[in-house]
Amino acid sequence: MKVGIFFVIGNDVLLDAIDISGGEVYGEAINHGEHYVFHENFGPVSRLGYLFCHNDYDHFPRGRVVFFPKTVTSVIYFDPCMSTIDIAKIVELFELLETNYSVQNDEHYRCSHCKKKRT
């Protein structure tokens, strides 16, 4: 099981994830990564990386997977522009298939497209 951040770029998922044993305690959760820092330090080594680096960090849909030890549950916080297929990819990439997890939309994770719809 992993925790961390992710971005959805087209049909691809770009992530910064680690096993929960290496995560940081943040309140009642175990967490990892910061979207802005990841974006600023990412090197464009592929077409996907080039696309990612040449847009603002909030351009693409993004989210986070955190783990709550007290309830032994992971939560996937996601951007509303993401599809159920994107969520299924996140579940697989973060190794959540055999675990308890929930999926929650969160105001904090809004891509530039979502922000434009709100104004």
How is residue 87 written in tokens? Answer: 């969520």
Main-chain dihedrals φ then ψ at residue 88, nearest 5 degrees:
-60, -40
- The pTM of this model reads 0.89
pLDDT score at 118: 55
Instruction: For residue range 45-97, list pLDDT tens digits in order.
Output: 788 888 888 888 889 999 999 999 999 999 999 999 999 999 999 999 999 99
Could you tell me if 56 and 88 are in contact, meaning their C-beta atoms sit under 8 angstroms apart? no
**Parallel, antiparallel or unpaired: strands 24-26 and 29-31:** antiparallel
The overall average pLDDT reported for the chain is: 90
Domain assignments of the chain as residue spans, ordered by start: 2-118
Give the pLDDT confidence score for residue 5 in this predicted structure: 95
Output the CA torsion sign for 31, 77, 92, 61.
Answer: negative
